[in-house]
Structure 1
């Protein structure tokens, strides 16, 4: 019986060590603060994608759980954007592009000036704002988007296709990497 323990212990070690080494984790979106993204974009220009959310927003949480956690989406965002999470009700001052944005109190809830500026005063959550490499607002798109709907949109903006065709035209020829 003792000789079986001598065989069992190395076998357990081998399987434990090598099975853990081969386990792959799905890519996750690398989130930055807006200040970090600005500094990075000035050094190495890349578009900025800003997820404007609130803590109480159920659709925002669903988008985090289903869309931003999808490996194809996370990998694409990390490769083509500096991704920012912006709480639209944050009370913290934010300095971006030489201007300090503040929280505006309105009774029980307020809003952040930066969120209002990015969303052109149309505070709807979730919303995704896109900035070009020069930190200029390209636009904001309100509402929840699942991975299948988000993938062509991310590509459309990252590849500057919005300059030559409508999103609807682009979606007709877009080849998805998502297999469901």
Structure 2
């Protein structure tokens, strides 16, 4: 009997240790406050509850150990529902979703004012912000871990500031050697 209990406990410990890595998600307001104490860039995942590619991004990319470890170390990670009803303060403005319908919480809903302000027209979109919470760029669509790695590392190193043409980006892209397992 004791051996069976020990086996169950060991199985549970092993199962818990093999659970996917978690990104330390915070709200946008929290990330902006954290930046004041310890400047880091922000990576914002703008998603909706009904979006299939958003769920794939969560499962396949954000739970990837390499991605989660890198994001947790170098970014404040924000999960933001582009059709949710959360009130957000950004750049001396308050953004909300006055057209939000709770009955549509898991279906298409009205766009949040912040999503509109950030010109987000597709989900998922990952928006990168610098240490002053100024937008670097939105990145539309599903990204695999190696695809996201390029942008995470480029923005972290501020390499994007040296890239001024499509040709320069293509050269950067071609020479980039992803290390994240995908």
Please confirm whether the aligned pair reaches a TM-score higher than 0.5, indicating the same fold: yes
Q: How many pairs align?
A: 171
- After superposition, residues 91-130 of structure 1 pair within 5 angstroms as 91-105=85-99, 109-118=109-118, 120=119, 122-130=120-128
Aligned position for 2:178? 176
Unpaired runs of 5+ in structure 2? 102-107
Q: Is the 8 A contact 1:153 1:167 kept in 2?
A: no
Question: What is the aligned partner in structure 2 of residue 36 from structure 1?
Answer: 30
Q: Normalising by structure 1, report the TM-score.
A: 0.82
1:89 to 83, 87, 103: 83
SS at match of 1:111: coil
Partner of 2:169: 167
Cα RMSD after superposing both structures: 2.8
CA distance in 2, matches of 1:148, 1:41: 26
Deviates more, 1:139-148 or 1:63-72: 139-148
Residue segments in structure 1 that go unaligned for 5+ positions in a row: none
1:52 aligns with 2:46: yes
Q: How far off is 1:92 after superposition? A: 2.6
Verify the 8 A CA contact 1:161 1:170 in the aligned structure 2.
Answer: no
Q: 1:45 to 1:106 in 2, by over 3 A?
A: closer
Shift in Å, 1:159: 1.0
CA deviation profile, 1:112-148 (whole Å, cap 9, x unmatched): 1111112x2x421000111100111111111111112
The partner residue of 1:135 within 133, 136, 141 is 133
| Whole-angstrom CA distance in 2 between matches of 1:144 and 1:74 | 16
1:154 paired with 2:152, answer: yes
In structure 2, relative to structure 1, the CA distance for the partners of 1:109 and 1:144 (3 Å cut) is same
After TM superposition, the runs of 4+ consecutive aligned structure 1 residues lying more than 4 A away are 12-17, 23-26
The 5-angstrom pairing of residues 69-88 of structure 1 reads 69-88=63-82
